[in-house]
Amino acid sequence: MKASIIQENVPLAPDEMDLHTFIRKVVSLPLMGLKKDNFALFRIVVSEMMVNEELRTLYYQQVLEPTLTMADGYFQKQVAEQALSPAKAKLTIRAISGMVMGLMLEYIMGDSTLATQWEEFAGCSR
């Protein structure tokens, strides 16, 4: 699943995108993996991560860390160009990441707006 999403949506280099494009990529890429039945898998993985340290570590290393690393690359450009402090850049990245995780959790808890409009919201419809 992860490989097909990345292959279909090759991340741009940080200097090839503006802030709007960057935010859209960071938000939509993780959400694109959760089409239809994949939410059932996500629900199981999230609940298991809460009690299984090994799975939690794998999730961080294979899913979250690469996303944060990509975002760090973009925000380093912003730090240099707009005098954004490195600490604020790292916190901003994690705030965006937390927002995405929160949306996924809201969906699996049954939010009707997200359930009916997920494909459009996640940028999955082309």
Residue 36 inside a domain? The answer is yes
Q: Which residue has the higher pLDDT, 41 or 98?
A: 98
pLDDT of residue 125: 45
- In 3D space, the residue among 106, 102, 126 whose CA is nearest the CA of residue 115 turns out to be 106
Evaluate whether residue 63 is within a structural domain: yes
Residue 7 is predicted with a pLDDT of 44
- In 1-126, where does DSSP find H-type helix? 2-8, 19-32, 38-51, 53-59, 65-82, 86-108, 112-121
pLDDT at 48 over 70: yes
**The predicted structure's pLDDT at residue 113:** 92
Measured in whole angstroms, the distance separating CA 119 from the mean position of its chain's CA atoms is 15
Question: pLDDT (tens digit, 9 = 90+) per residue, 7-28?
Answer: 444 555 556 677 777 777 777 7
What is the domain extent for residue 83? 2-8+17-121
Residue 37 lies in a domain: yes
Tokens standing for 113?
């707006």
Q: Is the pTM of this model over 0.75?
A: no
> What is the chain's mean pLDDT, rounded?
78
Who has greater pLDDT, 60 or 123?
A: 60
The answer as to whether 96 is a domain residue is yes
Q: Is residue 52 a part of any domain in this protein?
A: yes
List the one residue out of 11, 18, 24 whose CA is nearest residue 100. 24
Residue 47 in any domain: the answer is yes
- Residue 126 located in a structural domain: no
Number of domains composing the chain: 1
Per-residue pLDDT tens digits for 53-108: 999 999 889 888 888 888 888 888 777 777 778 888 889 889 988 988 898 889 88
Whether 79 maps to a domain, the answer reads yes
- Do residues 93 and 68 make contact, with C-beta atoms less than 8 angstroms apart? yes
Q: Is the pLDDT of residue 124 over 70?
A: no
